[in-house]
């Protein structure tokens, strides 16, 4: 069974790195900001896998028992949690085109800060490596993993309440898939919180196995399948269509609307457009609605396609 775990990790890393490379190439060509954020998000998950592999390697292959080694690896778990807790909800807000409010920043920022404090505390209150490791393990398994589950439940909730507001068939398909994956793997994530008992004490599952690995592998396989559809839906962006005077005249596009369309072509979200033009988010939404109404489209993709095919 140990070989099975190694194979799963190896396949997951290969598929995950392939997906990361694919999305990064698309970002370089298209400059779509959400793809860049997706790459950062999945890079964090890949780093988690690498930490896991290191931990398993030290325990099973080298069989190193020194607490210093595990303090070292657990240190990286803490660093990972610090970034993951904040970056994950931020990414999904951007994916859903929902503002990451000040309250969101305070809540998830505080959780990241608490995680950072937890990392420091054991080294202050204890001197013995064995005692430090004991505290760190407790903090990771109880507090940090609780934060992880809070973030996961929040993502599921966020997608669920905004599922009808998602624009574009590809976006809907991707987010619906993410929602289903999170629900399906939720019992597995809960089981991962008891991995020590399941793997070492009860020996129900092989050492090092986590359901989150299957989630990562499945997610990346689906990402690679969807990326072609998503990329095709954005090909107009890649080709950088030009807004002609004829188009502006035919659809009575104002100067402000032209500026907004140019930013839409570059892949800017409503929030990014508002920040760039120093206009309120609601005003941008009104302008976008008017542009869609004038041109006779229902999405950004259709708008760009119409500009590309105009004349």
Q: What is the CATH number of the domain that holds 67?
A: 1.20.1070
The pTM of the whole model exceeds 0.75: no
pLDDT along the chain (311 residues), means of 10: 71 87 81 79 85 73 69 87 92 84 94 93 87 88 88 88 70 74 80 67 69 83 73 50 84 91 85 85 92 90 82 57
Residues 48 and 156 in one domain: yes
Residues 225 and 245 in one domain: no
Q: Are 309 and 127 in contact (CB under 8 A)?
A: no
The reported pLDDT for the residue numbered 167 is 62
The reported pLDDT for the residue numbered 230 is 57
Domain termination residue (choose one: 194, 211, 233): 233
Residues 86 and 46 in one domain: yes
Domain termination residue (choose one: 196, 214, 233): 233
Residues 255 and 142 in one domain: no
Residues 229 and 245 in one domain: no
Q: In the chain, how many domains are there? A: 2
Q: Looking at 57-128, list the stretches that DSSP marks H as alpha helix, in order from N- to C-terminal side.
A: 67-95, 102-125
Residues 279 and 165 in one domain: no
The whole-angstrom separation of Cα 172 and Cα 118 is 38
Range of the domain at 107: 2-233
The whole-angstrom separation of Cα 173 and Cα 19 is 18
The reported pLDDT for the residue numbered 115 is 93
Domain termination residue (choose one: 233, 257, 279): 233
Residues 170 and 277 in one domain: no
The reported pLDDT for the residue numbered 300 is 86
């Amino acid at each position: 069974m140990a070989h099975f775990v190694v194979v799963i990790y190896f396949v997951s890393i290969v598929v995950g790195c392939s997906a990361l490379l694919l999305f990064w190439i698309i970002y370089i060509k298209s400059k779509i900001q959400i793809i860049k954020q997706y790459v950062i998000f999945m890079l964090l998950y890949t780093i988690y896998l690498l930490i896991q592999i290191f931990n398993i390697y030290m325990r099973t292959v080298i069989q190193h028992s020194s607490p210093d080694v595990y303090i070292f690896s657990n240190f990286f778990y803490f660093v990972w949690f610090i970034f993951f807790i904040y970056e994950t909800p931020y990414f999904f807000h951007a994916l859903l085109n929902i503002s990451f409010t000040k309250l969101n920043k305070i809540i998830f920022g505080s959780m990241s800060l608490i995680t950072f404090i937890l990392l420091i505390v054991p080294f202050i209150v204890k001197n013995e490596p064995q005692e430090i490791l004991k505290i760190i393990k407790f903090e990771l398994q109880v507090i940090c993993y609780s934060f992880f589950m809070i973030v996961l439940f929040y993502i599921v909730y966020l997608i669920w309440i905004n599922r009808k507001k998602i624009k574009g068939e590809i976006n809907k398909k991707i987010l619906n898939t993410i929602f289903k994956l999170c629900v399906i793997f939720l019992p597995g994530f809960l089981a991962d919180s008891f991995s020590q008992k399941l793997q070492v004490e009860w020996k129900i599952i092989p050492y090092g196995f986590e359901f989150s690995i299957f989630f990562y592998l499945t997610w990346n396989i689906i990402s690679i399948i969807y990326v072609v559809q998503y990329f095709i839906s954005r090909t107009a962006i890649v080709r950088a269509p030009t807004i002609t005077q004829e188009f502006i005249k035919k659809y009575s596009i104002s100067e402000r609307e032209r500026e907004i369309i140019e930013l839409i072509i570059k892949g800017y979200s409503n929030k990014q457009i508002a920040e760039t033009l120093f206009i309120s988010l609601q005003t941008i939404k009104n302008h976008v609605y008017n542009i869609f109404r004038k041109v006779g489209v229902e999405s950004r993709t259709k708008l760009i396609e119409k500009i590309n095919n105009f004349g």
